[in-house]
Structure 1
Amino acid sequence: MLTETWLSGDCRDAPVIAEILPPAYKIQEKSRQGRGGGTAIIYKDSIGVSRRNHTATLAKSFEALSVELRIISDCVMVHTIYRPPPSKKNGFSFAMLMEEFESFLHEIQFNRFILCGDLNIHLDDPSSSEGKRFLDLLNSFDLVQLVNGATHRKGHTLDVIIARSTDADLLANVSPIDMCFPDHYPVFFVINLSRPTRASGKEISYRQIRKIKLDNLSADIDRFVSETASIDDLNHLVSEYTTSMKSIVDKHAPVKTRVINQKIEAPWYNDDIRAAKQVRRRYEKLWRDSGLMVHRQMFVNQRDNVNSMIDDAKTNFYTGMIEDSTSDSRRLFRAVSNLLGSDTRVDPLSDTTPSEKVEAFAKFFSDKIKKIQLGFPAIDTDVITASESYGFDLDIKWGDFEPATADEVRCIVMNCPNKVEF
């Protein structure tokens, strides 16, 4: 769930969304009519998400995006809200928020729900009258605020995760974590719902070699050597070696199988980025364990390095794709469409019947011909005769044709462009 997306709600959003969405993910978003704000939820395409409307769409003091999250038989409403800081310019008072938010809670209270977002209220400050009044409102609806700890760089709790007290088992591991963002910390949590059905994965076989106890392995090998010391026949010795060694390895590290999900990687992803991300994770773990600022800076520098490598890889990939498609307009338009996040396969007549589509298709070409005809200058047929217009006698009838020669046909075929289909 995201707040302050700053999406504009028009065609300018498509390239931005295409840039941030991972493979096999979708987005539901609600942009503000104006600069700033906006809420969104990004989810995997295997999860059923349906948008729902509430009277909160008419609220002035906060923005809300409501979706129904459905996985197999489990269903929960997820409400993402953002309250812009009150100012003289917007005129959004705390009293207005309390009134509109209470109405919103009255409407959604009958369904199981999760409410999360940025309220810009100092809920951590016991001396804050606004924070106390807001928590009292939640308590009157038997709701609890589950975020403990700072969610902002300045040490305040501004972001919330709210649920019914009776749905305490629905959420787990709620924790704001400093990811070195400029101001707010992301808040992580687990929703305890049924797992979606896994797509068919790939079965792999492996041995846990690192768990072998070397002393036991060495003892078994020594025992094998002593038992085969009297064998003189080379073929017999090789056969015993192969069988015994396999039996020893199977004893200490038996073959195990498991099914793994096959991840969809972006076409620009490469081994250099993968290695750089491993270094980034190592620096992050070092910083989490030590808490030292020098380790934090190492993580930030490596994070910026990874982001720069990703930008360069994307630029090189899409530049090469466009350059390779200059001779094929269809491939070029497909590449640009993927890059800009636009869908060129949208059917503008998807809501019409087949007969209406046929009529619309015929009318399109009929109107096109009429438009072309209207573009020609008017000709006075009483002044210019047909023979003068066309330069030949229209009474002549063509009845005799000479067959084309093989050389003429070959010349026509060789001069045809490559895209001509026969």
Structure 2
Amino acid sequence: MYDDVELYDKFRFRRHDILTIVDELRDDLEYPDTRQGPLPATLQVVLICDADMRIMNCTAICQVVGFSARFQNPEGIAAVCSIRVATKIIDCVNTRASETLSVTPRNARTSCTTRVIVMCRPPNSCFGTFLDDVSTVLLIAGTHPTETVVCGDFNTKYGEPTCTDAVNLADLLDTAGFTQHVTGATHERGSKLDLVITAKTSHPIATAVKPISQITDRYAVECELLQSKPSRLKRHITYRRQSAINKNIFAADLRLFNLNADEADPVVLLAAYDTCLRTIIDAHAPLMSRTITVRPTTLWHTKDLTEVKQALRRAERLWRNSSLSVHRHIFKDRRNIFRKLLKTARSDYYRSEISKAGGNMRFIYGITDSLLSRKVNMTLPEVADESPSAFATRFQRYFKDKTEVLCQNRSPLPADDTPTVVGAHFDVFEHAGICHKIV
């Protein structure tokens, strides 16, 4: 069934491993048209994973995230991503003579992304129409805000001056400002059929792109991209281990605490009190320091989620140790339960928060920013020729002058038109007179 399988990856997979990825993870295909028939005979597999990953079981760490087989020919593209790639955004590019799939791996902790557009040209397609498809893809790659890598099976002998199609493709890439990175033949007959294309000015290619292990009549192509994981924010904190304090001994030391009662200055008494109390606390719980990693707070995380996740990890360890299919199915069932529970917990949390907001749009906008992971940074005006302190002084003087001008220009208060009561006075009562009036 599978006559040709191509893999873009830095690891040396066996052909059986590649077929296992596609066959056993067929349920994870996100496009509905992939479930309507068998997979094509010729399949191009693109694997996106971390560079430091060590793969023991392919199906354990990968999932099929995209599939394209629209034409009536035995050609197709499958995109396989590591589960350590946090987020995948899959979209298709409309082409007429080639299979095209666009995959954008995204790390949840950073906004850095690299778009990967995979193309596969069937051998019987018109090369002129295929050049139009390549031109469309290059236009999308040039206008996309993130760095884009175009790769795939172009089915043309690139680099050979006697091949007219290859010369036309090279001229198109040079005119559009793109370059090709694969060095060496990707076919057993010495032809370069598989290409990796990026912009000339800036590209995320880290090392030389070269063929590695041979699979049937093709070679797998290794392409390493510059998309390192961002380091988490570190914070230096100081703390005391208050739980280690012996309450009885601490109370006894407090009783021995004595201040100089003859001191009349309250500032001196307060400083002496603070010094003595700090000495006692340092003796029982000395000040310690450490560097911690700041992680985001998940307010919707509940105790039920923790218990389900612990059961999921136990099932995963059991499956990895035994490698049995029954344990794998148990792990997948518990994984699906955890995903559904996590989605429900998040939905319930944000639903309750929005209901609490009522008509407070400012609070709702804050919830929206947290959902979209947008950080609102305070933007101050640029200060070119003065120091921050001078700018702050000028800022304060501006509002002070404004206030003084408003006070000077204010209209005078109207005169008091209340008539004065003539002959009004308070009576002065004697002590006896007050008692008489009360009686």
TM-score using structure 1 length: 0.43
User: Rg bigger for which structure?
Assistant: 2
TM-score (norm 2): 0.42
